[in-house]
Structure 1
Amino acid sequence: MHISEGLLPAPLWLGGYGLTVLITGYSLGRLQRLERDPRRPLPKAALLTAAFFVASSIHLPFPPTSLHLLLNGLMGVLLGVLAYPAILVGLFFQAVAFGHGGLTTLGINAAILGIPALLAGGIFQASRRRLGTGWAAFWAGAAGVVLAALLFYGVVLAALYSEGIPSTSAERLALAGLMAAHLPLAGVEGLFTRWVVLFLQRVQPQLLGEDEKL
């Protein structure tokens, strides 16, 4: 789900940086408005950023390829608007340490994973009372993966179009295959998000309480 260096034309990756700057500024500004002490959620954000960073090294076999956990849905559920800057920091360290993605594509990669994280957090909050905490967490975790895959698909097609490269049936088939491979991953992440949220509800319910909503 990481777009590597040199694959995007300058207007796209520059636009990705512009979008990321806007969303990150909005997220941090909203955090300051909603929290009397904006530093209070930072330890939780740091822990989840570390988990997001490590998740890229855990690969799951989905023949003919392998995928790694994203955890963007889980971060959206637990961090709210703080999920976007947390994902941005995690992606930066992934690019520097593992070579996943790149520095020019950091902004667009943050948008591909961060926007679905924010939407997943909204899905969880909107459906929690109607579906229950567990199922709301499941659908939020699954939605984070599906929405990220859709954004990735759209960005790659936009890159091909902007470079004047016609997308052949083989390329579209390869992209569609990659999209299909993320469907079982969405189920896995949904179940994992459900398990983590229900566990926290039992042992640290304040992490999911009204005082933690962002």
Structure 2
Amino acid sequence: MHIPDGFLPPNICLAGYALTGGVTWYSLREIKRDNYTQANIPKASLLTAAFFVASLIHIPIPPTSVHLIFNGLMGAVLGFYAFPAILIGLFFQAVMFQHGGMSTLGVNAIVIGAPAIAAHLIFKQRDKLPLASDRFLRKKQAVTKILSFAAGAGALLLSATMFAVLLVTNISPDMDVNAERTAILISMGSYAIQAAIEGVFCVMLISFLEQVKPELLRSSSNNY
């Protein structure tokens, strides 16, 4: 899902950098309002490293292969910390492994990072539920699982859709346009499977954290 150098025209690459600058500024502004910065920065660093490694692991899903993203998980757990964390991870992937490109860094940050913020907004709906009590505990746990899956799977599907639209609308005329378009559309089926995998993983991890370390989900609460 990382778009390499040379696939997009310069105007889209520049627009990607402009949008990334705006979203980064907004994310940092929200982070400044966080009351738990000292606790959340190490957590963001840890998940940045996990994102960096996971995106380099390819899983074969015929007729292609996909790599884990976990942007929905990062959005659910980190909140607005997720976007700068993803941006940093993408930068080091491009510099160290040429996974993605420097000219498309801004576009890749939007494609992967913006859905992470959307996942945060989805997951924080759990805060509208009543405080846990014997009466509402099971309901809140069930809703949390649903929102976790929606955040994990939804973010990946949104990223895949943005990725596909960008590639389909910018296929070079020197290439076989129909063949490339068909290949991109087929890959969407693989991303649907990956979305389900990431949604389930998000449910499992957040359910675990809720049981053993609920304060790690604090950045997704209304504390900004």
Matched position secondary structure for 1:137: helix
Q: Is 1:146 matched with 2:157? A: yes
Where in structure 2 are there 5+ consecutive unaligned residues?
130-139
Task: Give matches, 1:7-156, under 5 Å.
Answer: 7-33=7-33, 35-36=34-35, 38-126=37-125, 129=129, 132-156=143-167
Q: CA deviation at 1:127?
A: 5.4
- Amino acid across the alignment from 1:12: I
Q: Is 1:190 matched with 2:189? A: no
Change over 3 Å in CA distance of 1:212–1:122 after alignment to 2: closer
Matched position secondary structure for 2:69: coil
Deviates more, 1:119-128 or 1:164-173: 164-173
**Whole-Å separation in 2 of the counterparts to 1:64 and 1:211:** 37
Matched position secondary structure for 1:132: helix
Instruction: Tell me the residue number matched to 1:199.
Output: 208
Larger Rg: 2
Q: C-alpha offsets along residues 75-125 of structure 1, whole Å, 9 cap, x if unaligned?
A: 000111111111000001111122100111110000000011111111112
Q: CA deviation at 1:38?
A: 3.6
Where in structure 1 are there 5+ consecutive unaligned residues?
none
**Whole-Å separation in 2 of the counterparts to 1:211 and 1:137:** 12
When the two structures are superposed, what TM-score results if normalisation uses the length of structure 1? 0.91
The sequence identity of aligned pairs, in percent, is: 45
Deviates more, 1:185-194 or 1:126-135: 126-135
**Whole-Å separation in 2 of the counterparts to 1:23 and 1:141:** 20
Matched position secondary structure for 1:3: coil
Q: How large is the Cα RMSD of the aligned pairs?
A: 2.1
Indicate if the aligned counterparts of 2:77 and 2:220 stay in contact, CA closer than 8 A. Answer: no
Change over 3 Å in CA distance of 1:44–1:210 after alignment to 2: closer
Q: CA deviation at 1:167?
A: 8.2
Relative CO higher for 1 or 2, CA cutoff 8 Å, sep ≥ 6?
A: 2
Q: CA deviation at 1:170?
A: 2.5
- Amino acid across the alignment from 2:161: L
- Amino acid across the alignment from 1:17: Y
Deviates more, 1:54-63 or 1:101-110: 54-63
- Amino acid across the alignment from 1:67: V
**Whole-Å separation in 1 of the counterparts to 2:156 and 2:89:** 17
Deviates more, 1:148-157 or 1:189-198: 148-157
- Amino acid across the alignment from 2:212: V
